Amino acid sequence: MTKRTGCKAFMRLKERSDGTCIVKDITLQHNHTLLLSPSMLVFMRSHKKVDPTLKGLVKDLQFSNIKHVNIMGLLTRLHGGRDKIGCHNRDILNMKAENTRKESMNEVQNMFKFFEDMKKENENFFYDYKVDDENRLENVFWSNASSRAAYADFGDCITFDTTYKSNKHHLPLAVFVGVNNHLQSTIFGVALMGNESEESFKWDKLTAILNHPLMSSEFEDAWKALIEEYNLHDINVMINLWAERKLWISA
């Protein structure tokens, strides 16, 4: 009921010592109708009958980028009225939200399976990822063998750009690009980023080592920790920076 009508119908129960209940008092007379209109019955759990075929149709329409209002219009016409669909608008929205969650989970699993297959095919394929405090995927980076080889040869100058959330998950795509000896653009690596905040872009450990005044022993310890944390032992750029550290580090 949407408002009080002064109805006197009630039932009072009493719990027994053995845990069962008995009816002590009951009044069955109502001062209002008990039969809801067909348009209201769909809000009652007992009257919701969601056909599996309906779920499949909603999913197909959703991932075909059909607008929600058009989905509801089609379902209404197919069933001969919105009250005959078997569920209401909120149920359809919940279905779509669940479909999106499952689809996102499947896409992440498929992505990492692809990465693992690529790594099995060529051990020089590299990928890494970061999760947030709730263990949700935040950032992903990958670079195939040819890209890493190109970086070793032509990594003197790199451009970095992000497209503004152009994919369906609204994740910025970051691309590391250089130029080869034929003056052709070559991709060194790609990343999907959860956001475009400052924290997502900057490399704090490295920044601290370069900009903070450190004693020689402190610098060496910090550099070692940086190499260990990001597994940079075989990266030529880092090897060369270490070899020439007397030319650029204040310590």
Span 83-111, pLDDT tens digits? 777 777 888 888 888 888 777 777 788 88
Condensed to tens digits (0 to 9), the pLDDT of residues 183-240 reads 899 999 998 887 666 666 665 576 566 666 667 788 888 888 888 887 888 888 788 8
Nearest-angstrom CA–CA distance, 15 and 24? 10
Condensed to tens digits (0 to 9), the pLDDT of residues 54-70 reads 888 998 998 888 999 99
- How much is the CA Rg of the chain, to the nearest whole Å? 31
Is the pTM higher than 0.75? The answer reads: no
Q: For position 1, what pLDDT does the model report?
A: 42
